[in-house]
Chain A
Amino acid sequence: MTKHELTSADVVAQVHRAWSPRATDAERVRRAIDVALAGGVGGDTATSPQHAWSWTARVIAAGAIAAASGGAGYLAGHRAGLRDAPTVAVAVQAARPAQVTSSSAPLFLPPVAGSQTPLGPPRPRQNSHAARREGDKNDLAGAESLAVELRALRNIERALRDGNPGLALAFLGELDREVPHGQLTEERDAATTIARCARDDRPFDIDLAGEFAQRHPGSVYKRRVEQACSKTDSPSSGDSPSWRSKE
């Protein structure tokens, strides 16, 4: 279905769905709030603030501390938290289960049941050279290489969603260097095809979606690839070079 066929009510309903939080979002933020309140950031620790007056006696007992830290403490903590990824969020993040689960897998990623591999920081480039030298099978264990692929594919998907197919292709290139023979070949191929279509990177008008369908006849990404490749006239691809625009 194209946007032309959609009414504004359809679009609003889709946006409502897309922007609604999941239960895990509410729980995660709630945990962070509870931690912050327990630490005194919220001013009082009552779960039901309407009963704040009942805390007056305790507040008076701790008056000196509360008065000293008060607003300035909150402001400073707030700024520091925003600047350096709040410790509260980090603590909660650490307590959170690994995100490589079926409920939080991005679009390109199949659910990886039972995979608890933590996603660490990006690997430095020297590692990719080492991986090439020693062979990816020796250098990256299966689980580790899968984690690298998962992480990269999330970034790729994010880049595509943000309208940066060039960045997505750069991530894909780096992933190819880092994990040349990964396990998520179909997902990588789908992402590459979508990114190329978004950039209108189709020399001689090659049917990228058709070729993808030939390579992966039963792919669950077929529709999305076709959808992406059918809108090559869209100006939405922000980094699409003008000289590549379709004639």
Chain B
Amino acid sequence: MKPVPSDPGDSSEGPRPEGPRLQARSAWSFDHVYGEYFPFVWRCLRALGVPLRALDDVAHDVFLVVHRQLPNFRGESSAQTWLFGIARHVASNHKRWSRRKQAPLEPLGSDAPDLARGPLEHAQDAEAAAFVAAFLARTDEKKRDLFILAVLEQMTIPEVAAALSIPINTAYTRLRAVRADFERALGHHEP
């Protein structure tokens, strides 16, 4: 995947999360990648619709792939771009597998509230998350991936275009469309 220079003037909102490129592979160990990007991968998996009960296993599989492929990673694209590709692939495999098997009642997960925040804040965050999860579930896969990277993870459009292997103009067009869909859904959402 060819690296594309980031565009500081794009329409991403807010501060960008960490996103340096893996420039010299000797400088990046698995520990570093795991420590730095585990939250990103975890959020992406949730946004990709991986159920809570399977999150541990899917994240585990993603990082096993990362561990295996890191020596071959040339650092030409951003770490997030590379990791999202792996996460999407593993999540898709999991979804295909789980479709074949009817899941029983959800086992207890670890999605417990962060008690540093109050119950109300936690409830509001959970409600927003449920709303966005529902929105993503009914959104076309191409737009969904773009929404995850550009809106939720606030990556630049050139990075997103590189991650999804689409032209930048296409990425902008899709972003406008999915943002409009999201605003519409937000407006119609009856709390």
Contact = CB atoms under 8 A, between A and B. Distances in A.
A102 interface: yes
Contacts of B13: 9, 12
Contacts of A52: 71
Contacts of A181: none
A105 B113 CA distance: 7
A24 B42 CA distance: 13
Given A8-B182, A9-B14, A29-B56, A103 B112 contact: yes
A55 B30 CA distance: 16
B39 A6 contact: no
Chain B facing A: main interface SS: helix
Contact of B120 (A4, A32, A83, A224): A224
Residue with the highest number of chain B CB atoms closer than 10 Å, among A6, A26, A107? A107
A241 interface: no
A221 interface: yes
Interface string B82-108: 000000000000100100010001101
Interface residues on B, range: 35 or more
A242 interface: no
Give the most central of A104, A233, A234: most B CB within 10 Å: A104
A43 interface: yes
Given A49-B71, A99-B110, A15 B152 contact: yes
A89 B53 CA distance: 12
A8 B122 CA distance: 18
A79 B67 CA distance: 19
A155 B56 contact: no
User: Which of B59, B60, B64, B109 is most buried by chain A, counting CB atoms within 10 A of its CB?
Assistant: B60
Given A11-B132, A25-B110, A103 B115 contact: yes
B46 interface: yes
B172 interface: no
A235 B113 CA distance: 25
6 contacts: A3-B191, A4-B191, A25-B56, A49-B67, A49-B71, A104-B110
A19 B129 contact: yes
Nearest to B147: A12
A220 B121 CA distance: 12
Given A30-B34, A231-B190, A3 B70 contact: no
B18 interface: no
A36 B110 contact: no
Contacts of A25: 42, 56, 110
A103 to B, nearest CB: 7
A9 B190 CA distance: 18
Interface of A: 1-4, 6, 8-22, 24-26, 28-30, 32-33, 36-37, 41-43, 47-50, 52, 78-79, 81-83, 86, 88-89, 99, 102-107, 111, 119, 151, 154-155, 158, 161, 163, 220-221, 223-224, 227, 230-231, 233-236
Interface stretch (B3-11, B21-29, B159-167): B21-29
Contacts of A102: 115
Given A3-B186, A32-B56, A42-B67, A155 B38 contact: no
A69 to B, nearest CB: 14
A242 B34 CA distance: 48
B43 A16 contact: yes
B28 to A, nearest CB: 7
B43 A161 contact: no
B131 A11 contact: yes
Contacts of A220: 119
B128 A18 contact: yes
